Amino acid sequence: MAKRDKTEDLVKELIHEEDWKRMNATAELLKRGPEAVRHLLVVLADENPRVRAEAALMLGRIKDRTAGVPIVKLLTDPEPIVRTAAAEALQHVADDAALAALVRLLEEPEPRDTAAAVLGRLKDPGALEPLVAMLKSQDPTARRMAAEALEQLADPRSADAWIEAMGDPDLRVIASRSLKHIGELRERIEGILNGLRDLEDTVALEEARVGVVMNLMALGRPAVSDLREALEDGHWMVREVVAQALGLIGDLRAVEPLLRKAKADRDMGVRESCIKALGEFGDARAVEVLVEAVNVPTTRLAASEGLSKIKDVSVLLPHIELIKRMKSDRDGLVSYHGGLILDKLDKLMSEQGMQQKEETVERDEWDEEVPAPAPRPAAGPGAPKGGIII
């Protein structure tokens, strides 16, 4: 018979009375990843509120974003323990669909305070469009809460929405404050970049680089949309430092423009900076660019480090021969990164092999039917009598 799947039992042990059982269940479910997610999503509707709460928290630890929308629904759960767990988990699993669902809750009296608090903690740019739409809600409380959450994003892309919101007496103060902040942010970015544009000496530019990158990084995610535009600046050093800053800020909105510049910028130094920045994200979209960059002497170290940070290691399986060559590279750091990746791939393949083994049907050798021997042909005249027939 097929081997019993233990994942369901592990989920139940998340609320076991013994600490070691709970700790073991948590560790095992983390290892199982996607397989555990399937079971945890089911028990979000369990009749036991402790099970619902622990399942939500576990999904948050696994950080699987497919759980975002189902967990948002738990913010309307009748049990406080479940609502608290959902709010905590959403900080790790809220994708764009979950953010939109959170914003919609601002129009519901019961869960909107919790939804607003979660949006305030997340400060995720993915909520921008739903928040802008909510500024036009018929519910004045929902409009105010959306405006407060949008203000915390401080995203220059919201400027037009704020200008329109100036016509709403309930939002005028927030809109004015936000527009002022956005204007100051843009002036700050321009001022930092103009400091580079004014320098003509190459040595002076290099000396200024680190300070400029740090200043841009300090502006954080609100600066990302303007920095993406600055990747098209006519000054090569501006493009380089902007790429570095985007990598350090780590906002996923920067991945696509960095990929484009890594492939096509006219300046080799800018392409190298974009490749190094992409390595900071661990995003699977960068794999092909990083694989190509490993074969280029000036970018091989940054690219090998970037590949070692890829979160979904399974996308590296088609490149295993390249990674083996990295492992045997004469450069110690390239070899180190290659070894890290191989270790992760070995673990992945081992886990997949174990899973396949568990899914196979186990058969007891004594239970197998042994086919009856074929009947011997009748002995003809002259055939030997007795003895072993060969």
Q: What average pLDDT does the segment 233-244 reach? A: 95
DSSP 121-189: HH--GGGHHHHHHHTT-S-HHHHHHHHHHHHHH--GGGHHHHHHHTT-TTTHHHHHHHHHHHHHHHHHH
Q: Give the integer Cα–Cα distance in Å for 94 and 311.
A: 17
Q: Position 112: which residue type?
A: R
Residues in a beta bridge with 2: 361
Question: In whole numbers, what is the pLDDT of the chain averaged over residues?
Answer: 87
What tens digit of pLDDT does each residue of 350-387 get?
Answer: 866 655 544 444 444 434 444 555 555 554 554 444 44
Burial group, residue 4, by CB count within 10 angstroms (0-12, 13-18, 19+): exposed
Q: What local confidence, expressed as pLDDT, does residue 22 receive?
A: 84
Q: At 2, phi and psi to the nearest 5?
A: -65, 145
Q: What are phi and psi of 346, to 5 degrees?
A: -60, -45
pTM over 0.85: no
What per-residue confidence (pLDDT) applies to 186? 93
Radius of gyration of the chain (CA): 29
**pLDDT per residue as tens digits for the range 45-61:** 999 999 999 999 999 99
Ranges 3-7, 34-38, 162-166: which has the least confidence: 3-7
pLDDT at residue number 373:
52
- Rounded CA separation 35/200 (Å): 57
State the pLDDT confidence band at 14, using cuts at 50, 70 and 90: confident
pLDDT value at residue 374: 54
pLDDT average, residue stretch 111-127: 93
Give the pLDDT band of residue 202 (cuts 50, 70, 90): confident
The model's confidence at residue 389, banded by pLDDT at 50, 70 and 90, is: very low
187 contact partners, CB below 8 Å, separation of at least 6: none
Q: What pLDDT, on a 0 to 100 scale, did the predictor assign at position 377?
A: 52
The candidate with the shortest Cα–Cα distance to 276, out of 245, 254, 244, 251, is: 244
The whole-angstrom separation of Cα 360 and Cα 117 is 47
Q: Hey, what amino acid is at 19?
A: D
How does pLDDT run across 289-332, given as a tens digit for each residue? Answer: 999 999 998 889 999 999 999 988 889 999 999 999 999 999 99
Say how far apart CA 263 and CA 274 lie, in whole Å. Answer: 9
pLDDT classification of 25: cutoffs 50, 70, 90: confident
Q: What is the pLDDT of residue 32?
A: 77
Q: Which two tokens stand for residue 167?
A: 């016509």
- pLDDT the model gives residue 3: 41
Q: What is the pLDDT of residue 365?
A: 41
Sign of the dihedral defined by the CA atoms of residues 333, 334, 335, 340, in that order: positive
Give 387 or 151, the one with higher predicted confidence.
151
The pLDDT of residue 12 is 80
Q: Report the alpha-carbon angle 320-270-287, nearest 5.
A: 20
Could you report the per-residue pLDDT of 60-86, keeping only the tens digit for each? Answer: 998 888 899 999 999 999 999 999 999
Residue 237 has pLDDT above 90, yes or no: yes
